[in-house]
A and B are shown apart, each in its own frame.
Chain A
Amino acid sequence: MTHKTPLYDMHLQLNGSMVDFCGWELPIHYTSQLQEHQFVRQAAGMFDVSHMNVVDLKGQDSKKFLEYLLANDINKLTFEGQALYSCLLNEKGGVIDDLIVYWIAADHYRLVLNAATHDKDMAWINHHANQFHLTIQEQPNLAMIAVQGPKAIALFQQATRLSVEDLKPFSGRFEKTNWIARTGYTGEDGLEIILPANDAPVLWQKLLKVGVRPCGLGARDTLRLEAGMNLYGHDMNETTLPYEAGLAWTVACKNDREFIGKTALLMAKAKGIQYKFIGLLLEKGGVLREGQKVIDDSGREGIITSGSFSPTLNCSIALAKVPDTMSGQLSVDRRGKLLSVKVVEPPFVRNGKVVYKENSNV
């Protein structure tokens, strides 16, 4: 049995090519995935992301609980509405999931977690909440629409008659029952709107009317890859330390805050981190794919964790986990053939522009 989002009928009306995405029936694309990608980079596209797991934490201990639960420090949030990206770690420092947490108001926080990890996330969160005074409530009756692209804000305002351009990046606020946040997963300006399921089709149609183009999961994946954003279950999992997945910036372990996984992370750091996370670019000769081997001159081996075709760069790009000692010219084993790749520092693309830095010493 697959789940349907409140926008399921919209996808069928728009001829979405439906696939099973971790138990949810969602469109991989409507017409052309490449065009949907470009439309987000150049104008505005929207995605049904109602499969994401929205969880509200309320109560006097909710902040204390998040201090303990998250690898990033909830105290970095300085005003109500602000958002924080964080990993959820196990005791060994491995990544259980990654999430966004919004500080909604006083003792109210909202987590947005991945759909694929729903059951283990909820078991983990509920288990550790035992010693704290708070309520944890999943919000299955909420839908979520991401509107992304340089024209996203303007078109959203035109469609809804709301004014949101004053929202600071990575923050949100309620407009009646709709939580509207300036966040996303594409590397473009835009919004993510969390709203009652019944209201979602109306907003979707209003956005369609003003020219926001519906985009599928395919474009969502190439957009996030160009933006150098990790995908859980691919770029990191429970055996990956955040340091090995380019996520050192999301771990706050310099102060005396205790959090799950901290001891393991400090020990791993003292011993030396074994892997680094790099960007790869293949200028000619095919498409880099997850699982392909990365090899250096001395025979050291790493692995591509995400790879695809970049419509903006018109060539293939990838993220890879490789030994920290890897250096020199790198090659990728593509179907038995070794292809030379360039090592770059992600992100590849931000706000419609190519931004990667070439990194000759890896």
Chain B
Amino acid sequence: MSNTPTNIFYTKTHEWIRKENDTEVTVGITDHAQAQLGELVFVELPELNKKFCIGDEAAVVESVKTASDVYAPLAGEITAINEALEASPHLVNEDPYGAGWLFKLKLTNSADFKKLLSADVYEAECA
């Protein structure tokens, strides 16, 4: 069974979003997504300060089986990336909501939040 914490937000494309404060969020891929992909062997992260619109390709995760895009769940600018993933992409499998986070975004418009899914809705999407 996949783990879907209720205190964070989700997208249909399997990103999770945690609100750090009113203007900044942390983004990763869900437990369901990492389980579907299988063991990750490579993560390509965005450059710092790069700006994205909602739905832009922001990162790539590659498993033993396949490659998958990670989309910017909200519009904003990259303020941090998880550099530990370069040497240890498996952190995404082991701890998708913690040590396996991908990047942080400074939001262009915090009102976009209402476009995200709750844990209940996301779980229903995956079922």
Contact = CB atoms under 8 A, between A and B. Distances in A.
Interface in B29-58: 38-39, 41-42, 44
Contacts of B38: 29, 33, 218
A111 interface: no
Interface string A331-360: 000010000000000000000000000000
A85 B3 CA distance: 48
B67 interface: yes
A124 to B, nearest CB: 32
B1 interface: no
A47 interface: no
Contacts of A34: 39, 41, 64
Interface size class of B (residues with CB under 8 A): 10 to 19
Contacts of A312: none
B64 A222 contact: yes
A286 B60 CA distance: 9
B67 A289 contact: yes
Nearest to B44: A286
Interface string A261-293: 000000000000000000000000111010000
A316 B41 CA distance: 9
Contacts of A309: 41-42, 62, 64
B114 interface: no
A33 B90 CA distance: 12
A218 B60 contact: no
A218 B67 contact: no
A335 B41 contact: no
Contacts of A308: 64
A172 to B, nearest CB: 32
Secondary structure of the A side of the interface? Answer: mixed
A32 interface: yes
B65 A218 contact: yes
Interface string A310-330: 000000100000000000000
Nearest to A289: B67
Contacts of A33: 38-39, 64
Interface string B63-97: 01101000000000000000000000000000000
Contacts of B41: 34, 287, 309
A311 to B, nearest CB: 8
Contacts of B62: 286-287, 309
B67 A287 contact: yes
Interface in A207-224: 218, 222
Nearest to B38: A33
Contacts of A289: 67
A335 B67 contact: yes
CB-based closest 3 A-B pairs: A309-B41, A287-B62, A33-B64
Given A286-B62, A335-B60, A335-B67, 7 more contacts: A32-B39, A33-B38, A33-B64, A285-B44, A286-B60, A287-B41, A308-B64
30 contacts: A29-B38, A32-B39, A33-B38, A33-B39, A33-B64, A34-B39, A34-B41, A34-B64, A218-B38, A218-B64, A218-B65, A222-B64, A285-B44, A286-B42, A286-B44, A286-B60, A286-B62, A286-B67, A287-B41, A287-B42, A287-B62, A287-B67, A289-B67, A308-B64, A309-B41, A309-B42, A309-B62, A309-B64, A335-B60, A335-B67
Interface of A: 29, 32-34, 218, 222, 285-287, 289, 308-309, 316, 335
